Structures are given as C-alpha cells and as structure tokens.
Structure 1
Amino acid sequence: MRDWPATILVPTGQVRLLAVDLPLPSHARRVAALPFAIEDRIAEPVDSVHIALGEQIAPGRYLVGIVRHDVMARWVVQAEEAGIGHAAMVPDVLTLPRPAEGWAVSQSGGRAAVRDADGTGFEVPAPLLRPAWEAADRPGVISYGEPLPDDMQKGSAALDAAAFGPAAGAAVAALNLRQGAYAVRKVAGSSLWRKFAWVAAIGAAAHVVIAFGDVIMLRSIADRREAETRAAALVAAPGVALGDDLANSITGLLPTGGGQVPQLFLPLVNRVSGALGPLSGALTVRAMTFEGRLLTLDLDASPDIGLQGQIESALKGAGVGAQVVRSPEGAIRITASAA
C-alpha cells in the first residue's frame, strides 16, 4: 500500500482561495511579493491574515490560500491536541477533482462547494449556489453530491473512497497551509502515519474528526480575477451581454472607482454566506444583486416570524454590517455592505 501524507482538511469557508499572477523567477521572490499581489483583493488588512503559496496552476499564476491568523492558530492548536500536529493542512475543497472546464460541485448537508477549472474554490450555503452560478455566467457543472436542478447539472459522478489517499496527496501538493509561522517544526515518528492516509476535518465545534476512506469532501466556488469581475458585472447589470474583451465590456458599467467592485463582491458573499450557514435550511434565495458596495439578497416569504431576528443576529455575530427588512407578506430583504 502506498503511503499518503497525514492530512488535515480544513473548511474551505474559512479559507480564501485565489489565483494570483506572480511571474517571478524564484520561490523566495514570489513569497515576498505575495502581500502586495493580494492586498487589493481581500477585505481584511494584510497583516491580519496568513498567506500561503500553492502550486503553479497556469504559467506565472499560482494558487494562494488566505486565512485569518486567529483561525489558523486555532487549527494548529487543535491538531497538536489531537496528536497530529505534524500533519499537512489543506482546504477540503482541493480533494474534489479539478474539472477540465466549468465547475465540479458537491452539495450536501445544506452546503454547496464548487471547484473551478482553474483550481481555485469557494463554499456557500446551498440556497446561494444558484445565484452564484448565474452570476458566473452558468458554467457547466459536474455534480459529485446531491442532484442539482436539470438546468444546472451537465453530468454527475461519484467520489471513490478508495481514491481518497491520492486525493489527499494531490491536495497537499496543491496547497499546504502549514507555511511560514505555521510550518511544521517536528515530524512524528509513529509508523501508523506511514501506513495510512489519515484525513481529518476540523469542524466549527472546535474538535478534530479523523477518518479514513469515509470523509465527506467539502467544496467551493472559484474566484479568479476574471471570474470575480465577470460575476460582479453580471449581477450589477443583469441582462447585459459581456463580450470576450471583458475589460472593454464592463468599462461603462462600473461606477467611479469601480476597479474595486469585483474585489468586493465575492469576499462579501463569502462573509454573508458563512454567517447564514446555520440558517440555510430555512432560507430560499429568490434573487441576488450587487451594486456599488451593497449586496442585496431577496428571500422567499417564510411563516417563521422569528427568522428575521435570527438572520440579524447571525450577521451581527459575524461582523457583517447589514439591514434586514421583512415585508407584510413575509418576504425578507438583506442588504449587506462591504464597508
């Protein structure tokens, strides 16, 4: 049996995955340039996040993972307490097959994750999958989880548990978050780790679950720079045809300073979707629009009179500035700000 690396899978919803252009000749120079290359693409201050450099996914373009320092430090402590502090640490979406084109989607447990053909990824509550898919110009989808609507799903496939070891190895090669200040200092000598590919998923309940060949793979939505720009333009100006020359197509659509708009859209969606995750089973998103710095979600009417308060509490707890308004008919509108 081939040895696969001890691997901890961390939730993609806590990791920002980007495709970053770094046409530099050495690894050291690419690492040094990373903060400057991503600072205008994230909402947080650069010094508040851990930035990890992954594999080259296209000529001069690299996969990059971004995690808040407090989150990364917590994961490392949890791993050490579980006796697997030597393990590699990767976003769980990277264990999904990378599609040749379009999206690889796996939806289960009220969460939807998508891996893009460029290798990046993102995760949202299931109710936000369709709006995100439409905002990304309806890419072809191969489903690895629950069946999706016919107009979304191009095909389906099953995840083979026997292939999980190779998938974990490929994920580690793509992006290991244990770099820099969080690099592994010691390598455990237990033969147990040399015999099996143990894969752990760190959950929101602050515990580590270890399994072999029976781990539910979570997934995400791609957000490379062009996709961010196209998605923001499509939701801000629905119905407007965008040509192959994307820059010229959207020049007249974005407001003054609009170069920042595509860099705000997906980060804000990520924050909002993460906050609403526990409520995803009670939410049905009818429409999603983005204009300026405001993301608006219109939800179908719900008989639950307490839902508005739950949404407000969830967003406030996640530090998301938002207004939640309920119509007399019971429909709910969420207006979140990227400020």
Structure 2
Amino acid sequence: MTNQSITPVSVASERPIDLRDANALKNRLPSASSGLMARADTYCPKVNDLPARLVAAEHVGSFLVDVPRATARQRRALLTFAVEDRIAAPIQSVQVVQGPLDSADPGRLLAFVLSQEVMAEIASADAPYLPEFLMIPRPDPEGGPAWSVWREGDRAVVRASDGIGFALRAAMLPSLWARAGHPKLYALAGTLGDALPAEDLSAAPPPPDPRDIAFSFARPAAAGTEGFAAWRWAAAAAGAALLIHLGLTAFDTAALKRIAQQERIAAEAAIAGVLPGVPLTGDVGPILARLTPTPSDAGRGPFLPLLNEVAGTLAQNSATVGFRRLSWGRRDNTLVVLMQSPGLEDLQRIEQDLESAGFAVRSGAATAGNGGAEVEMRITGGAGG
C-alpha cells in the first residue's frame, strides 16, 4: 500500500520573491526608450527651462473611442464611460485624459488611461509629461492601417495610423502584426527582421507631429510666453475657422473699405444727375441723407444690433478669444456664447469690458485644460440698447 499521508517539506519549489518594497513591481516596469527621449529633447518645447519627460508606453493605455458631441466637461465624463469596459482595472483607480488626434471623424477621440499613482507623480512635476509613442508620427492612414515601429534592443514601441500607441517585446511583434491583419510597417529605428516586410526609415526618421509634442498630461505654469506654445499649435488653424463660422469677418478692415468704396460710387452717380456741379467731398453723409430714402425699422429684429455691439466691444479688447458656440434668445434678447481663450484671465477681462460697455453678463463655470480655458456667457442689453 502506498503511503498517501501529508508530510512537511522543508524546501521551496522555487526561489522566493522579494516583497520588501511596495514599489517593487512598479520599479520593474521599463522606462521610456532612450532614443525617443533624445527626440523629446530635440523637438519638444521646454517649460520652466525643463525638457519634456516621457512616460513609458507600458504605463499608458490608449484607446480610440466614439462619443457624442458635448462640452469639454461632458466630454471628460463620456471618455471615462467609453473606456470603463475596456480596461482591466476599477475606473476609480485610473484617470482618463483626452489625447491629440488630427483628421479624425467628428465624435472620435483618442483616450489615454493612467493609474492614479502615476498621474499623481506627473501632476506634482514642473516639467511637461507625455507618452513616449507621441514622439513617433502617425503613419499615413490613406493606404490602409499602418504601424511605425521604434525598436531598441528587445523592446519595440509602436504608433498606429489611428493614433494609438503601445510597447511590446520585439520577439512578439511578428505574431501581433499577423493578428492585426498585416498592417503596413515602417521601421524608424532598428531592424525588424526578415519576417516583417517593413520600409526602413531609420536613416532619417520623420519628426513628430507638432500637435503631439505640444500635448502634456500636466500643464505646469510656464515662465514668459512658452506656456502658450501648446495652445498656439492647436488654435492657429481652428481660430480662423471659428471666426468665419460665426460671421466675424464682417468686421474685417478690407470688407469695410470695399463697402465704403461702393457707397462713394453710388453717391457720385446720384450727384451727377440730381445735383450737377456739386463737388463730392470726403464727408458723403449729408449728401446721402438727402438722396437716400430713410430706411424703415419695421421688421428689423434686435439680434443683429446686439451682435454688432458685442463684436465692437470685443474688437477693442486685446485678449485672444474664440467663439465655439453662439445662440440667441428672442424672448429676452440674450446672446449665449461659449468663449475660448488661452487663460482664465483673458475671459475675466472680456467679461469686465462687456459689463463696462453696459451689457448684463452672466457667466457659467469656467473650465481650463489642454492649454486653454472656456466659459459660457449670457449677454443681454448693450451700450446702445
């Protein structure tokens, strides 16, 4: 009969794991690639004379999500809900941050997920922090899915054409590439081996995207004007489109000159037939008043006069401001404007100028983030109302 009783064993099957430090597992996570850190020193703007720092891709989850159109505050909540079912961690233990994503469909956003512990370290730093894969430009998605790969040793950092990024062991790259449907490959550093048909760009890797390098998880206060560098990249193109969309080009100097020239031509033609021999001076107001019938105010609404007064007041303010949304209430003749500027100080100065001009202004809660600030203002009345 075989003895099946339990007997003590004085030796372990494997070597013990040292758990003396609560950060032991965290310390074993890889750091950012040295080559990508060198690119950060070259391309990223300094803040407070400190270079940008990179967060290893293993610390940052990136997801492409679809959310409905919403305000900035609502969008943060929608991002959190969108990734809650896609991460293997309680949602209370992480923070979700919107990442930069150009040329995306409306409602499609890039979400970054970090642990609360890592985010706390970043928030207390004086230098900007961003994921290391943002140092790799997105490959062109026009020809289909593509990956740009930065390899150093046995570790590879990948940036996909849809904007997400991740890191993995180089030995796992062929199998993951096959499971992803064989996207087109670009090798930006190191060789990928004969098993992967990659286009070699390592001799002259393309620079990172300006909007990507302007991103930071934390926005430290900058000395001088460098703190606005990130905002300028994002607002340079959007500002002109917003102004055109809201009709602010009506106040453009060139347009006003064209209108004045047309009025002068009309006055000269009228004088030639009705008041022959009367010279046309620079002041055409009295002559036009005699020749032009007085327009009737019947049917004229209060919207355009109010918009004209508000725009004239804003034109005298030196602060940089953009309109993201504009609506009008006919019942109380109120403009509801969602304004955006580089900082809260500009919005406060605009509100004070409007009130000084005779407007009644009610402001909602101001929000700040991603290098800018925005607030909804309800503007009633006016200097001429």
Name the TM tier (shorter chain): 0.3 to 0.5
Kindly name which structure, 1 or 2, has the bigger radius of gyration based on alpha carbons: 2
Q: TM-score, normalised by structure 2?
A: 0.42
Which structure carries more relative contact order (alpha carbon 8 Å, separation 6+)?
Answer: 1
